[in-house]
Amino acid sequence: NDIIELDFVAKTLENASIEDADIIVAAGKGVKTKENIELLNKFAQKIGGKLAASRGLVDMGLCQNTIQVGQTGNRKSKRVITN
């Protein structure tokens, strides 16, 4: 059970760029909480990827629009996308 500091995660998510990522871990509204987003972000980092978010999470204020993917966000073809 690792503890992640919120400030670190907020900066990581805010500065995240998915443009050059080969691996993306995509999160949607089912994630529901900032804590779950933090866990997914940590997982993404461990596998050498970047966290991406649906418009729903961005609209809920849980993620920055810089990591939004989908029809209204970034559209890139990646090697691996998991959600």
More confident site: 38 or 75: 38
Task: Quickly state the pLDDT bin for 10 (edges 50, 70, 90).
Answer: very low
Backbone angles phi, psi at 60, to 5 degrees: -75, -10
Question: Is the distance from CB of 67 to CB of 18 less than 8 angstroms?
Answer: yes
Q: What is the mean pLDDT of residues 67-76?
A: 72
Question: Is the distance from CB of 78 to CB of 24 less than 8 angstroms?
Answer: yes
Beta-carbon count within 10 A of 83 CB:
13
Convert the pLDDT of each residue in 11-68 to its tens digit.
454 455 677 788 888 899 999 999 999 999 999 989 888 899 999 999 999 998 888 8
Calpha distance 58→64 (Å, rounded) = 6
